[in-house]
Amino acid sequence: MPFTRIALRAGKPAPYRQALMQGVQRALVATFNVPEADRFMIVSEHDEASFAFDPSYPGISRSDDFVLIQITVSNTRTVEQKKALYRRIADELAENPGVRKEDVFINLVEVLIENWSFGNGIAQYAT
Protein backbone atom coordinates (compact mmCIF):
# COMPACT_ATOMS: atom_id res chain seq x y z
CA MET A 1 0.00 0.00 0.00
CA PRO A 2 2.89 2.45 -0.27
CA PHE A 3 2.60 5.51 -2.46
CA THR A 4 6.03 6.73 -3.53
CA ARG A 5 7.09 10.09 -4.91
CA ILE A 6 10.58 10.46 -6.34
CA ALA A 7 11.88 13.92 -7.23
CA LEU A 8 15.13 14.78 -9.00
CA ARG A 9 16.73 17.34 -11.27
CA ALA A 10 15.55 17.19 -14.86
CA GLY A 11 17.67 15.56 -17.50
CA LYS A 12 18.05 11.92 -16.52
CA PRO A 13 17.07 9.34 -19.18
CA ALA A 14 14.01 7.10 -18.83
CA PRO A 15 16.05 3.98 -17.89
CA TYR A 16 17.59 5.94 -14.98
CA ARG A 17 14.15 6.97 -13.71
CA GLN A 18 12.87 3.41 -14.12
CA ALA A 19 15.85 2.08 -12.14
CA LEU A 20 14.99 4.47 -9.30
CA MET A 21 11.44 3.13 -9.12
CA GLN A 22 12.57 -0.49 -9.40
CA GLY A 23 15.16 -0.09 -6.64
CA VAL A 24 12.69 1.51 -4.25
CA GLN A 25 10.14 -1.19 -5.00
CA ARG A 26 12.66 -3.99 -4.38
CA ALA A 27 13.52 -2.39 -1.03
CA LEU A 28 9.85 -2.09 -0.05
CA VAL A 29 9.21 -5.73 -0.93
CA ALA A 30 12.28 -6.90 0.99
CA THR A 31 11.91 -4.83 4.16
CA PHE A 32 8.25 -3.83 4.47
CA ASN A 33 6.72 -7.07 3.12
CA VAL A 34 4.98 -5.15 0.35
CA PRO A 35 3.51 -7.39 -2.39
CA GLU A 36 5.43 -7.00 -5.66
CA ALA A 37 2.29 -5.91 -7.51
CA ASP A 38 1.55 -3.19 -4.92
CA ARG A 39 3.37 -0.47 -6.89
CA PHE A 40 2.12 3.12 -7.02
CA MET A 41 4.87 5.61 -7.86
CA ILE A 42 5.45 9.02 -9.39
CA VAL A 43 8.75 10.40 -10.65
CA SER A 44 8.93 14.14 -11.11
CA GLU A 45 11.77 16.08 -12.65
CA HIS A 46 12.53 19.68 -11.78
CA ASP A 47 14.79 22.36 -13.20
CA GLU A 48 17.41 23.91 -10.93
CA ALA A 49 15.15 26.83 -10.00
CA SER A 50 12.40 24.47 -8.84
CA PHE A 51 14.44 21.93 -6.88
CA ALA A 52 16.20 23.22 -3.78
CA PHE A 53 18.26 21.29 -1.26
CA ASP A 54 21.15 22.08 1.04
CA PRO A 55 24.37 20.61 -0.35
CA SER A 56 25.78 19.81 3.10
CA TYR A 57 23.05 19.58 5.79
CA PRO A 58 23.69 17.97 8.35
CA GLY A 59 27.27 17.29 7.33
CA ILE A 60 26.33 15.13 4.33
CA SER A 61 27.87 16.21 1.01
CA ARG A 62 25.25 16.19 -1.78
CA SER A 63 25.67 16.56 -5.52
CA ASP A 64 23.34 17.63 -8.32
CA ASP A 65 22.30 13.95 -8.56
CA PHE A 66 20.36 14.35 -5.29
CA VAL A 67 17.17 12.24 -5.20
CA LEU A 68 14.29 13.02 -2.85
CA ILE A 69 12.07 10.04 -2.04
CA GLN A 70 8.84 10.38 -0.08
CA ILE A 71 6.90 7.23 0.74
CA THR A 72 3.43 7.28 2.24
CA VAL A 73 2.71 4.07 4.15
CA SER A 74 0.36 2.76 6.80
CA ASN A 75 1.65 3.27 10.32
CA THR A 76 2.27 -0.43 10.91
CA ARG A 77 6.10 -0.75 10.63
CA THR A 78 8.68 -0.96 13.40
CA VAL A 79 11.66 1.35 13.76
CA GLU A 80 13.88 -1.59 12.78
CA GLN A 81 11.93 -2.08 9.53
CA LYS A 82 12.24 1.62 8.75
CA LYS A 83 15.99 1.58 9.29
CA ALA A 84 16.27 -1.51 7.11
CA LEU A 85 14.23 0.22 4.38
CA TYR A 86 16.47 3.29 4.38
CA ARG A 87 19.62 1.15 4.11
CA ARG A 88 18.15 -1.07 1.42
CA ILE A 89 16.97 1.83 -0.74
CA ALA A 90 20.39 3.49 -0.55
CA ASP A 91 22.09 0.18 -1.41
CA GLU A 92 19.70 -0.57 -4.29
CA LEU A 93 20.07 2.88 -5.85
CA ALA A 94 23.85 2.83 -5.42
CA GLU A 95 23.94 -0.43 -7.37
CA ASN A 96 21.56 0.73 -10.10
CA PRO A 97 21.38 3.44 -11.43
CA GLY A 98 24.51 4.43 -9.50
CA VAL A 99 23.24 7.11 -7.10
CA ARG A 100 25.70 8.02 -4.34
CA LYS A 101 24.25 7.06 -0.96
CA GLU A 102 24.85 10.65 0.17
CA ASP A 103 22.41 11.78 -2.54
CA VAL A 104 19.51 9.61 -1.33
CA PHE A 105 17.04 11.49 0.91
CA ILE A 106 14.09 9.46 2.25
CA ASN A 107 11.02 10.69 4.09
CA LEU A 108 8.27 8.37 5.36
CA VAL A 109 4.77 9.71 5.83
CA GLU A 110 2.70 7.39 7.99
CA VAL A 111 -1.08 7.34 7.79
CA LEU A 112 -3.81 5.31 9.42
CA ILE A 113 -4.60 2.11 7.57
CA GLU A 114 -8.15 3.26 6.78
CA ASN A 115 -6.78 6.28 4.84
CA TRP A 116 -6.44 4.33 1.59
CA SER A 117 -8.82 3.78 -1.30
CA PHE A 118 -7.46 1.75 -4.20
CA GLY A 119 -10.50 2.45 -6.36
CA ASN A 120 -14.26 2.20 -6.58
CA GLY A 121 -14.67 4.71 -3.75
CA ILE A 122 -14.03 1.98 -1.19
CA ALA A 123 -11.71 2.12 1.82
CA GLN A 124 -10.43 -1.42 1.29
CA TYR A 125 -8.49 -1.59 4.59
CA ALA A 126 -11.08 0.10 6.82
CA THR A 127 -12.64 -2.15 9.42
pLDDT at 125: 84
What value does the mean pLDDT take over residues 5-18? 97
CA separation (Å) from 99 to 62, 80, 102, 116, 124? 11, 24, 8, 31, 36
Q: Which residues are catalytic?
A: 2
Instruction: State the chain's mean pLDDT as an integer.
Output: 95
The Cα–Cα gap between 85 and 28 comes to 7
- How crowded is the C-beta side of 118, counted as CA atoms within 13 Å? 10
Residue 24 has pLDDT above 80, yes or no: yes
Task: Calculate mean pLDDT across residues 22-26.
Answer: 98
The alpha-helical segments, DSSP class H, found in 7-95 are 14-32, 79-95
Domains of the chain from N-terminus onward? 3-115 (3.30.429.10)
Please give the helix or strand (H or E) that residue 9 lies within, else none: strand 3-9
pTM score: 0.92
